[in-house]
């Protein structure tokens, strides 16, 4: 089976399992999504969704957030981990959005990646989920599964992203990255599958 054939098989199976792909992080705007994605670094989506209601009841726009003391932000988001760094980033990016972007989250990779606390993966999630721009954010689930399914031999997420973009059609990227995450959490966890246990691994690695 060629890599392209394996990718086609993956896409077919994931579409059967996850025809709908709800966005895991609760949000009401591109801004609240951006903050939620930033908080999700080294933290579960479930925990983020438990924390953000209190934060967004305090401030759910850049204009409101830039007026909230950093210490107050830090106290609310403490359960998400890395709270000193994340609270400073949320406060500063809110100020930059107001002063540089008219209070709006820019639908632009380069502009997003210049914001404090926003790397390529966070920018990709926001572009895909807030603005519908084709992107393929690669997290640890996707990096692990791409290797197990022999879609990439990459040792880092940047190369994995490039490899996956080559084997999957551009119009499928936004949905597929969520489908792979859902599958990784449900069937092909880091310790629950050795590349031979879950249904897709068995199918793709038979023989």
Active-site annotation, residues: 121, 139
Strands of 8-143 (E only): list them.
Answer: none
CA-only gyration radius of the chain, Å:
18
**For the purposes of burial, counting CB atoms within 10 Å of the CB of 195, is it exposed (0-12), middle (13-18) or buried (19 or more)?**
middle
Closest CA to 80 of 38, 113, 118, 119: 38
Q: How far is it, in rounded angstroms, from Cα 86 to Cα 84?
A: 6
Give the span between the Cα atoms of 35 and 78, in whole angstroms.
Answer: 14
């Amino acid at each position: 089976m060629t890599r392209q054939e394996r990718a086609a098989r993956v896409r077919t199976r994931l579409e059967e399992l996850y025809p709908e792909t709800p966005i895991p992080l609760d949000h009401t705007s591109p801004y609240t999504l951006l903050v939620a994605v930033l908080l999700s670094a080294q933290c579960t989506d479930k925990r983020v969704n438990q924390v953000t209601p209190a934060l967004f009841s305090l401030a759910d726009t850049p204009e409101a957030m830039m007026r909230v003391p950093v210490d107050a932000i830090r106290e609310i988001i403490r359960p998400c981990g890395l709270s000193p760094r994340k609270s400073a980033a949320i406060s500063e990016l809110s100020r930059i959005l107001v002063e540089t972007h008219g209070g709006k989250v820019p639908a632009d990779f380069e502009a997003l990646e210049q914001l404090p606390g926003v790397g390529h993966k966070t920018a990709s999630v926001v572009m895909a989920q807030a603005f519908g721009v084709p992107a393929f954010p690669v997290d640890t689930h996707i990096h692990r599964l791409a290797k197990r399914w022999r879609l990439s031999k990459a040792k880092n997420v940047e190369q994995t992203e490039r490899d996956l973009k080559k084997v999957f059609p551009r119009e499928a990227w936004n949905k597929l990255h969520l489908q792979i995450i859902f599958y990784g959490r449900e069937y092909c966890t880091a310790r629950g599958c050795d590349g031979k246990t879950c249904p897709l691994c068995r199918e793709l690695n038979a023989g």
